[in-house]
Structures are given as C-alpha cells and as structure tokens.
Chains A and B, each alone.
Chain A
Amino acid sequence: MIDPKHTPDPNDERLIEHFRQHASGEPPASLDAFILATARREASAPQPSLWQRWLQACQRPRWQMAFATVAGVALMIGLVLRSPVPEDHPSSLASMELSANRQEPSAAAAPPAMPAPAPIVRMAPQGELARAPASADQALLEKPATKMSKVAPAALPSLEQGLMEILRLREAGDGKAADEKLLALHKRFPKEDLPARLEALRKR
C-alpha cells in the first residue's frame, strides 16, 4: 500500500505552494482561548512519589483522624492481649491494699524469691491472720473483697485462703466441713503439704 518511490511533480508542488501562500482563515481568538484554558485546567498534575502522597495524606485532618483511630485501636488491642490475667486471687485489689499496710517481715511461709506481684497478693491473708479474725477493720475490709469475687465468679480461692477457711471451720467446731475443704484443696494442690501448712498457720 505504501509507495516509497512516490516523487511529487514539481508543478503539483507549485500548485500546493500557491494555495498555501494565499490561504487564509484562522480559528477565532475566543476558540483558541477556550481550548487552551480547557487544556490547562485538565492537564493532569504530575504523579507524586509514594512517600509524598503519604505525607500529603497525613497532613489532611480527615486522614489524621483515621490514623489516630487506627493507632488507638491497635494500642488498646495490644494492651488487652499483653495485660496479665489474675488466676487465683479474685480479691487482689483489696488484698494488695492490705498487704501494703499490714505485711510483716516475719512471714515465714512466703517464698522469698517469687516475683513481686504474686507474693504481695498471697501474703495478704497471712497478714490478716496475725490479727484478730473478728476485728471490725477486717470485716470492713473484707466487703470489697467479697464484691470483687462476685465480679469474677469463676476464680477459686487461693491456697492460703482455703487453709484459713479450714482453720476457721475447725475452730468453729465444724470438722466435717473442714475435712471436705481440705480434700478439695488437696485435689487442687496435690503437691502441697497441706497438713504442715495448716499447722504453721495455726501456730501463727
């Protein structure tokens, strides 16, 4: 279809040139202005880099809110997943208060090398044990602990609490209930020497 050998006739070229010299007609200035203005308006802005686009997005309040929300949710999820769950002391808040006030250095039953939060919680009832069991202070302080245990009904009493309960039952003359408690406690803590610990508690 394409003929590379096509050579224009000089006369024909003269005719074309003649028409070109005498041709007239221009698009109206208003049409020029309209087309050029449209072209300028619709010229696509150069694509910024990914980093620039991210920075621009961060500067917009809408995106700032979105980023802040996402960061907040992520932080909350992280905190929830990482926070330690207390296993065997439902009245930990009250016990911690008690232990801060009443912990005695001579508590022989407390293991010395245990991590900080656990000994404090476990030692609290021992501090209470050193005092008179029927004191008014103790009754007042036990109320919040009871409330807390209702909040977390699935949690079981600690070993020390169980032992104290057994001692209390025995002192009250309810030996059968005390034996049942001891049996239940033995199932939960089979490796513990419960009679020896009961004896130590009783002596204190």
Chain B
Amino acid sequence: MPAALDSPSDESLLARYRNGDGASFEALYARHRQGLYRFLVSLSNKAELAEEVFQDTWLSLIRSTTQPQGRASFRTWLFQIARNRLIDHWRKHGVHNPLHDSYDEQLHVQPDDASSPEHQLSLSRDQARLDAALQALPEDQREVFLLRLHGDLELPQIAALTDAPLETVKSRLRYAQQKLHRLLAEEVPA
C-alpha cells in the first residue's frame, strides 16, 4: 500500500495537515484506514475493541503536534501508536498482554512440507478458515505476520516497532508462515 511515486509522501501529507490543510488528512486517512483497522481486528480479535483503539489512534494523531521521529516512517509510527493503545487498553482492563509472553519458537516448529516443490498445494480461500488459522498463531508470531500483511512493513521496521531483535522477528515470521501454510494447505486434485 505504498503511495505512488508522483503522489505526496505520508510525511508531507501530515505536515500539510499540521499547517491547516484538511484535505491532506483525508488523503492520509484513505491510505491507511483499511490496513490499520484490519490489523487491529486481527490482533485483538474483537471488532468493538478494534474500533475503539482505531478511533483513539487517529484522534491522538489529529490532536498531536508531533511528527514521526528519526528514520521512522509514518506507517511505522501509526501502527506503533495503535499497538501501544491496544496494550494500554489491555493493561487498563487487567487483561494479560499476550504480546509480552516469552515464546520459544523452537518448541512450535513442525515439519513444513507444504512449501516443498514436491507438494504443490493450494491455500484455502475460505474466510473463516483464514481467520481461524491466524488466530491459531501464537500472539507474537501473529503480530509480526499482521504487521507485514496489513501494515506492509519491512522486517527492520517491525523489529523497531516491536522492540525486538531483527533475527527474532525473522524467525517469528518464518514460523508463522510455516504454520499458516500447514493449516491452510489443501491437496490439489490430480
């Protein structure tokens, strides 16, 4: 979902909005509303909570006067705000934060035959099955996969956002994809 080359960057749209150009915010919102919403729904697995955090995130961006810091892109910044808001919500309501669980990926490794050339499998297109597969992922793997999927973030950006080492992020994504392949694989009829 990156902006086209001839269109203004997210950062310049935000700067224009800060200078009073309301139309720039509409363009910025149109670019990221869907990805952010889907990320929150999939991560929290509750539409109501996702809507609340989604609204809080945009309102805090509207009312803030800050810009993305350092080398962070607008997208990384936006998803980081949303993630922090969700964690705040869990903390406030005494919900155990699943993203902070220490997780030993090695214990969950299973042989992944689906990606091997010998096994040409198609992936299920059933929406319920896709959702169930995502929810079956451990939280930290799911988070990395969702940031890649809906945020279109690169692994270094995800590592910075989740404050995790790059290698850990890589392995989380790899294990997540292996598990999803396994859960969604369907034999192609000969």
A binds B: yes
Q: Which residues of A contact B (CB under 8 A)?
A: 1-3, 6, 9, 11-12, 15-16, 18-20, 22-28, 31-32, 34-36, 38-40, 42-46
- B30-71 interface with A by 8 A CB criterion: 33-34, 37-38, 41, 47, 51, 54-55, 58-59, 62-63
Q: What is the minimal beta-carbon distance from B66 to any residue of chain A, in angstroms?
A: 14
Question: Which B residues lie within 8 Å of A28 (CB)?
Answer: 51
- Please provide the 5 A-B residue pairs with the shortest distance between their CB atoms, ordered closest to farther: A2-B156, A43-B22, A46-B20, A39-B25, A27-B37
B156-A1 in contact (CB<8A): yes
Q: Are B18 and A44 in contact (CB under 8 A)?
A: yes
Known: A18-B123, A39-B26. Contact between A1 and B51, CB under 8 A? Answer: no
A11 and B116 alpha carbons, distance in the complex (Å): 10
* Contact assessment for B62 and A39 in the assembled complex, using a CB-CB cutoff below 8 Å: yes
Q: Given A6-B170, A15-B123, A15-B180, A35 and B29 touching (CB < 8 A)? A: yes
- Rounded to whole Å, the gap between the CB of B135 and the closest CB of chain A is 13
A1 in contact with B25 given A16-B149, A44-B19 (CB within 8 Å) = no
Q: List 25 contacting pairs A-B, 8 Å CB cutoff, sorted by A.
A: A1-B166, A2-B156, A3-B155, A3-B166, A6-B154, A11-B115, A11-B181, A18-B123, A22-B127, A23-B150, A26-B34, A27-B33, A31-B51, A35-B58, A35-B62, A36-B25, A38-B59, A39-B22, A39-B26, A39-B58, A40-B25, A43-B22, A43-B25, A45-B20, A46-B20
Q: Tell me the total A-B contact number using a CB cutoff of 8 A.
A: 95
In the assembled complex, B125 has its CB within 8 A of some CB on chain A:
yes
Those of B154-168 within 8 Å (CB) of chain A: 154-156, 159-160, 165-166
Indicate whether B73 reaches chain A with its CB closer than 8 angstroms. Answer: no
Q: CB-CB < 8 A to A43: which residues of B?
A: 17, 20-22, 25
Q: Give the residues in chain A near B123, CB-CB below 8 Å.
A: 15, 18
Bound: A46/B21 CA distance, A: 8
Q: Are the CB atoms of A25 and B155 closer together than 8 Å?
A: no
Complex partner residue of A12 from B22, B41, B156, B177, CB under 8 angstroms: B177
How far, in whole Å, are A20 and B42 apart by their CA atoms in the complex? 13
CB distance from A27 to the nearest CB of B (A): 4
Partner of A36, one of B26, B47, B54, B155: B26
Complex: A32 Cα to B54 Cα, angstroms: 10
- Do A44 and B20 form a contact, CB below 8 Å, given A1-B156, A15-B123, A35-B59? yes
Partner of B149, one of A2, A20, A24, A44: A20
When C-beta atoms are compared, the residue in chain A nearest to B37 turns out to be: A27
If A1-B165, A25-B38, A36-B26 touch, whether A15 touches B20 (CB-CB below 8 Å) is: no
* CA A12 to CA B177, docked complex, whole Å: 7
Q: Which chain A residue lies CB-closest to B160? A: A1
Give CA–CA (A19, B123) in the complex, Å.
10
Supplied contacts A1-B156, A35-B58, 15 more A-B pairs, CB within 8 Å: A1-B160, A1-B165, A6-B170, A12-B177, A15-B180, A15-B181, A28-B51, A32-B29, A36-B29, A39-B22, A39-B25, A39-B29, A40-B22, A43-B25, A44-B20
